[in-house]
Amino acid sequence: MGVLSLHHPWAFSFGILGNIISFMVYLAPVPTFYRIYERKSTEGFQSVPYVVALFSAMLWIYYAFLKANAYLLITINSIGCLIETVYIVMYLIYAPKSAKRLVIRTKSVEFMPLSLSFFLTLAAVVWFAYGLLIKDKFVALPNVLGFLFGMIQMVLYITYKDVKPVAKPITQEHKLPEHIVAIVKVDATRGRGSSKPPHADKEEKGNKIRG
């Protein structure tokens, strides 16, 4: 690492900066998982980003072992493997039986933290610069995709952050059935229902008086 700092001071500086920002990326989901722990449910959060991050960190470690003087890559990705494993274990503990994609369907960014998208984009920029400075295309090129995906996430966040989810209308099958209520006049003297209209009793009484 000392040789790298002497011959490539800018590369070493960007490597340190990349490690710091990547560490912040790994810590960005902490509020999310604290919420999951508090509510004992993963709600609408997805596990895919954390599985992909773990797989990515493992691949970077493998690549770093094949490359000389790649201590910066080994250090941060080892930490990343540990942190992402903890996230995935927590997700498995609190995950419901079924989960749904909610960002575009409900136009809600509640389950897409801005901090994670921002630090992912920033980390991609720094690691891209690091790859260019050490002239390693295998470090630089993947971060172009990371930058693009991070920008897409932030555009989605900006698009939907002020949109209030529209309440789902009541469908026909959820409407209460219509009932026709028949009012039956109870004849107190006979103790049973009478289907005669009210004016029929008056006519009977009138007929009895005339008779």
Give the pLDDT score at 20: 92
* Confidence at residue 190, expressed as pLDDT on a 0 to 100 scale: 52
Are 39 and 30 contacting, i.e. CB atoms less than 8 angstroms apart?
Answer: no
The owner of tokens 């005669």 is 196
pLDDT of residue 210: 56
| Rounded distance between C-alpha atoms, residue 43 and residue 47, angstroms | 11
> How does pLDDT run along the chain (211 residues), one tens digit per residue?
433 444 678 888 888 888 998 899 899 889 988 988 888 888 777 777 888 888 888 888 888 888 877 888 889 999 999 998 898 888 878 875 544 455 556 555 665 667 777 877 888 888 888 888 878 877 777 778 778 877 877 787 777 777 665 544 444 444 444 444 444 454 544 545 455 555 555 555 555 555 5
pTM for the predicted model, two decimal places = 0.49
**What pLDDT is stored for residue 106 in this prediction?**
56
Report whether 96 contacts 41 (CB < 8 A): yes
The helix or strand, by DSSP H or E, that contains position 26, with its residue range, turns out to be: helix 9-27
Residue 193 host element (H or E):
strand 192-194
